[in-house]
Structures are given as C-alpha cells and as structure tokens.
C-alpha cells in the first residue's frame, strides 16, 4: 500500500470514528464522511465501495482502544479489563452508535471479530516472558481451542460493555467494584473445584 493510500485510509477511518462519536451508523452518509474528511465523493470511492467497507476498516481503531491493546498492563489482568470498561463508558455515545443503534447492519459481530483479530496480533507481538506475565493471554493459549477462547472473551467483554453503556447511573467506581466483586467470586469458584 502506497503512503498516500495509507494516509487517506487513515483520514477516512478516523473521520468515520469521529462521526460515530455523534451519530448512529445508519445516519452517516457518504457526503458526511467526505465533509468530515475534507475530500470529494470520487476520492472516497477510490478507497471504499461504501460506508460498510469503511466501517469494517474503522473497527480496529475502535477495538484497539476498547480492548486497550496499545497500552496493555502486563501485571494486572483486572486493571486491563477495568481500563477497557472505563474507555467504553467515557466513549459511551460512540459505543452506543456502533453496538446498539444500528438496525440495518450488525456491527456487534464485526466488532467481536475485529477485537479477536487485534488480540491475536497483540499475542503474536509479545515475547514469551510478556505472555507468561499476562494471565488472560496465557489462559487463551493454554485452552483446548485458543481461537474460540479469544472470540468468547471478546464477545463477553463486548456484551458487558453493551449493558454498561445502556446504564445511566454507572461510573468508574461502580465498574471497579463490580469487577473486583466478580473476580473474587470467580476465584472462589475456581478454588472450590
């Protein structure tokens, strides 16, 4: 891919994310995307067939932030999960506009696939020591089916985020206390077997 094409795709994907911060996907038009990106329609069609193709290309921008893969805390898996939920709550409108507000296009499954791909890429970029320090990733790799385990985890996190962004009275403190509570309960189940 040429530098100019990479740059234009970057501009278009980030323009889509910016628009999703303020409106549901089905309300976004090619004209709005072009206006946000400061390009004309013919330039848009040089890179994408339609807004669905652009959304697919934009999902990694969102999932890298949502699943916090750019700044993963290797030492504390609960902090990693909390950071993902905090990001979702602080970007509630964007998350709602992707997961909840779309009646014409099911972005939920695409978001899970994109997150799974991002997790795979992150795992493959880590050293053995880094993987051994990350209990979540180590659990994926030691499972009978790592690919399915990653997809299930991403689906679970996406589902929880969907619930959280629908709540009007949720804040960072409540999220942290819920995660801590369930971490203790899951740990108790694990050790009782």
Sign of the C-alpha dihedral computed for residues 144, 145, 151 and 155 taken in this order: negative
Q: Could you please report the per-residue DSSP string of 48-86? A: -SSHHHHHHHHHHHHHHHHTTGGG--TT-HHHHHHHHHH
DSSP state of 22: T
Q: How many domains does the chain have?
A: 1
Can you tell me whether residue 184 is helix, strand or coil?
helix
Residue-range definition of the domain harbouring residue 166: 59-192
Average pLDDT of the chain to the nearest whole number = 83
146-168 pLDDT, tens per residue? 999 999 988 888 888 888 888 88
68-95 pLDDT, tens per residue? 655 554 456 677 777 778 888 888 888 8
Please report whether residue 9 resides in a domain: no
Report CA 39 to chain centroid distance, whole Å: 27
Query: Which pLDDT score is estimated for 36?
Result: 97
């Amino acid at each position: 891919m040429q530098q100019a094409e990479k740059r234009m795709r970057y501009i278009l994907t980030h323009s889509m994310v910016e628009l999703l911060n303020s409106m549901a996907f089905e309300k976004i038009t090619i004209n709005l995307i072009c206006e946000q990106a400061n390009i004309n329609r013919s330039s848009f069609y040089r890179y994408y067939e339609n807004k669905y193709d652009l959304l697919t290309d934009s999902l990694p921008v969102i999932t890298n932030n949502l699943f916090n893969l750019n700044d993963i805390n290797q030492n504390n898996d609960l902090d990693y999960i909390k950071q993902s939920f905090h990001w979702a709550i602080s970007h509630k409108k964007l998350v709602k506009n992707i997961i909840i507000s779309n009646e014409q296009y099911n972005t939920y499954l695409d978001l899970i696939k994109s997150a799974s791909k991002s997790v795979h890429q992150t795992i493959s970029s880590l050293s053995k020591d880094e993987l051994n320090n990350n209990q979540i990733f180590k659990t994926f790799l030691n499972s009978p089916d790592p690919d399915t385990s990653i997809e299930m985890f991403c689906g679970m996190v996406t589902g929880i985020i969907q619930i959280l962004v629908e709540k009007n009275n949720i804040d960072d403190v409540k999220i942290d206390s819920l995660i801590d509570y369930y971490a203790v309960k899951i740990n108790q189940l694990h050790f009782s077997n």
